[in-house]
Structure 1
């Protein structure tokens, strides 16, 4: 690990001033960044500790919630308003990591965590994300966990966050602050696909700090988060589905679906949503919508099974949400 300095600013403006310095990195819970420093993937010259900033969960005027970037994942999952209005978010966080990690990890840090691709962590491997221009050993290597949507010839890594998948389905906004002021970024636009520059993972500009995530009012229907993984204990998703569904008189009135474990970013299932809205809430319709969403998926040697698995998990999740509304 390289030498670095440590600063703990007392307010947001001081954090932004420090964060604008060359070589500075913001530090949340450190559950990913410190690992990356140990592995000599990240080399910050200064850590700016922002864990004491933006630590509240507040009501918004429109009936939503504003969650500070410094709020711990455990606090979000346990908040009564989150559990009642946005159960898929609470479920996603609880499925995402051990209790010890959830107690340390922050909302902002969760959004900025980097891929768990084994080749990214192996300094003997070729990885365009770690060392641009060197190639991607995952494409012809062991790629069971890798992307089937939105990948490129430069990178097939997936984004590891469960929480971010739920936020994508909820139409969350990410608020960031920089020296040019504040801006709100839709969660689904916050992360970027790899293209030819997989080292660029978000639309954040130099020195910008995530300050909050805002949730709009929840849907009137039901929502849930389903995660398929190789073991029930702490593991990253092969496929995950965050879904919110409102059905009236057998017709889909509103639906939101996001997928995890399939792409470089949380994947909003726009094709499936368009196919379902205003149509029948039936298993056949759900299956057809899932097939439409994954029609562009491309499997690699070890992960082609994800295409059928994704269709099945989407379908089953929507079937169960429909049944819950029918017996409500």
Structure 2
């Protein structure tokens, strides 16, 4: 899954790129729905350890095809460790929020991640954020407060909303680390080291919880591992076939899939405040993406 795993494709097939992105987002929405079911049946350390182990098994053929362990050699192990720590903590918070909130509400709050990435790019990556993107950030966080606010004031959301927001912040930090690592590290290397770190963290957690899982959960965990990789493969392919500005906005379609899956399996449907708040967050994210493109072409 590094640059040699998928042949480079010119960014001149927008419809194909959009189709791959929609497919990837759908697979990731199914993954989140399975995660919501899994956390009702398993302790989170068991889920993290098992899923990470299965992902590593599935990555094995790519590692061998890319030259074995030499493809994973790195001069920045501590940077991988920091990214892995952010990923572990983000997953812990995300899984726990799924226990407490409707699926679509968690996904809507998770759309704050690109806003956090913009914020973190200032201290971590020394990037400049212009007045337009600061305005978009403000609008986006107003949207988040609209999603969280009404029920939080009634005491219905409580820790679930804060955990979902924390998961978004930590995910944004892990993605900032990807940008930091990308000049020297391959996609495959980052995937393997991330899952190694998460697997080790899950194994440590197993010291404090019983290693118990209903027999029927193991195929579901295996399916989750497959969906992780297939979803990422689809999004990688989309970004190779079409410009980021064409396919990235389709990531927000996950809210629609999450709402549909939540209604089908748990009879959950987001309130109007979630949709209005998500509209603000998505709009802010799209505007931030547009300003990022303008910045890279000489804008501010």
Which TM-score applies when normalising by structure 2?
Answer: 0.29
Which TM-score applies when normalising by structure 1?
Answer: 0.27
* Bigger fraction of residues in helix: 2
* Bigger fraction of residues in strand: 1
